[in-house]
Structure 1
Amino acid sequence: MRQFHVDGQIVERKDEIQQALVSNFTQAFSRCRAWWKGLQTECLQSLDDQFSEER
């Protein structure tokens, strides 16, 4: 059976590799979503500022 290195750990079973990939993907996705929410909030706030300045 072949051995795979995932985050410095030796993983021998396929389901362990899949779990590691899924957890990595989940972490990356939640980070990306948090960044996207922050970006949207900033954009909305700057738009609000522009509109209130024009009024």
Structure 2
Amino acid sequence: MESLGLKDRVNFSRAYLEPALESGLLEMTQPDSPRSPTQKYRLTDKGRQWLTCKQ
């Protein structure tokens, strides 16, 4: 959110986070606890390949 300059968490989740998770570009570090306050996300191999192609 910070790197995109967005402040609305709900909009960020719907517009960016959920589509990236569904397409397999990102994965949760704690998939069994999606609402955990310590939840983080990381790029998958597919996400790294996508970034490489976009540069």
Confirm or deny a common fold (TM above 0.5): no
Indicate the structure (1 or 2) with the bigger Cα radius of gyration.
1
Return the structure number with greater helix share: 1
Greater relative CO (CA pairs within 8 A, separation 6+): 2
Q: Output the TM-score relative to the length of structure 1.
A: 0.33
